[in-house]
Amino acid sequence: MERVYNFSAGPSVIAESVLKKAQAELVNYGDAGMSVMEMSHRSPVYQAIIDETEALLREVLSIPDDYAVLFLQGGASSQFAMIPLNLANGSGAIDLVLTGQWASKANQEASKYCQVNIVGSSKDKTFSYIPKLDKSKFNPDADYFYICSNNTIYGTRFATLPECGNVPLVADMSSCILSEKIDVTKYGLIFAGAQKNMGPAGLTVVIIRKDLIGKARDITPTMFNYEIHANNGSMYNTPPTFAIYMCKLVLEWLKNEIGGIEAMEEINHKKAAIMYDYLDSSKVFKPTVSGADRSYMNIPFITGNEDLDKAFVKAAAAAGFVNLKGHRSVGGMRASIYNAMPVEGVEKLVKFMKDYEVSL
């Protein structure tokens, strides 16, 4: 069978050239005589891999020296606890914007460890927009201000960042990291599960301003303490060695084949425009998000008729466009068009949708 166009929300598409490189190096990496999977994380050859991965990430995202990069496990979801355990150690209160399921989970988890002040919510309309924020509701003494930058399920994104002053901004970028240029200095902490834009599942990347490290509460489990991981070069215990190696290949692809983060952003804008332009003109398929809040990565759409949605998802899969079923809380469809989805894949999907529309 040929490779399909995979619109999965995560784990998601990885560039074919990355997979082929991994395949070529799978059994015997360089002249190591073994696979990356088999080697000690303490070996010089593996140290070179993790060092190179970090150097590439720093280069691609322009991460300043006063930020640490940590390669962790436990998924983005573990960060929902790890962040308050490490950062909510001043006033014990944080600000949070409720923009979807992942922000809700972060809220629930943080509420076990600190007081969460919800400064904005879009729950009233199934999280189909980013709420306008009233700065007077922000707590100037908050230990941090939490957002989910791109809402994977609902297809919204923060186009502008909240003005939270000196309060460190913490952002879940699981589904948008590496998709566009960002100013890292605007954030106290950025985190992402790797399985959307960075590689396979099993790796979680944390980018944290160094002055925020070393403030963990006494009860914090060792493995949940940023300081432990920072002081040990992400090797306090065995890191997710193969996932980090795959992340290195993805970063090499982004830098060398795509041409860096600006080129990536341009391609992503082009792909999203192709989808939204069609959805805005279609008489059958309707986008669920409008205006400036639209995500460049996850594009939900509906027909308004559940049977038709189902029939479409089935027909699309048969034609090689897979994983288009929407999240159950939104229904309909969702096209996740992460970095590794080529422009051609989006063009072909839109062509398929146009033909489908005509055939009805």
In whole angstroms, the minimum distance from the beta carbon of 80 to ligand PLP comes to 8
Q: Does 102 bind ligand PLP (CB under 6 A)?
A: yes
Binding range to ligand PLP, per CB under 6 A, among 43-51, 167-175, 233-241, 310-318: 167-175
- Binding to ligand PLP by residue 10, rule CB under 6 A? yes
Give the shortest CB-12-to-ligand PLP separation in angstroms: 10
CA-based nearest residue to 212, from 111, 120, 90: 90
Residue 224 near residue 86, CB atoms below 8 Å: yes
Query: Binding ligand PLP by CB under 6 A: which of 12, 152, 156, 336?
Result: 152
Active site residue 277: no
- The smaller minimum CB distance to ligand PLP, of residues 196 and 334, is found at 196
* Residues between 32 and 71 that touch ligand PLP (CB under 6 A): none
102 given a catalytic annotation: yes
Q: Candidates 120-128, 168-176, 228-236, 338-346: pick the segment binding ligand PLP (CB under 6 A).
A: 168-176
And the tokens for 55? 């150097």
Decide: helix, strand or coil at residue 134.
coil
Q: Is 326 a residue that touches ligand PLP (CB under 6 A)?
A: no
Which of 175, 197, 288, 339: binder of ligand PLP (CB under 6 A)? 175
Candidates 31, 125, 135, 172; catalytic one: 172
Q: What are phi and psi of 192, to 5 degrees?
A: -160, 135
Instruction: Determine the residue type at 290.
Output: S
Is residue 310 part of the annotated active site? The answer reads no
DSSP-H helix ranges across the chain: 16-26, 44-61, 75-87, 101-110, 226-231, 241-252, 261-281, 306-318, 343-359
Q: Establish if 148 lies at the interface with ligand PLP (CB under 6 A).
A: yes
Query: Could you tell me if 67 and 208 are in contact, meaning their C-beta atoms sit under 8 angstroms apart?
Result: yes
Q: Which is nearer to ligand PLP, 201 or 315 (CB)?
A: 201
Nearest Cα to 203, choosing from 193, 190, 191, 216? Answer: 193
Q: Is 75 in the site for ligand PLP (CB under 6 A)?
A: yes
User: Does residue 193 interact with ligand PLP by CB under 6 A?
Assistant: yes
Cβ atoms of 132 and 120 closer than 8 Å: yes
Tokens of 136: 């007077």
Residue pair 332/301 in contact (Cβ under 8 Å)? The answer is: yes
What residues line the site for ligand PLP (CB under 6 A)? 10, 75-77, 102, 148, 152, 172, 174-175, 193, 196
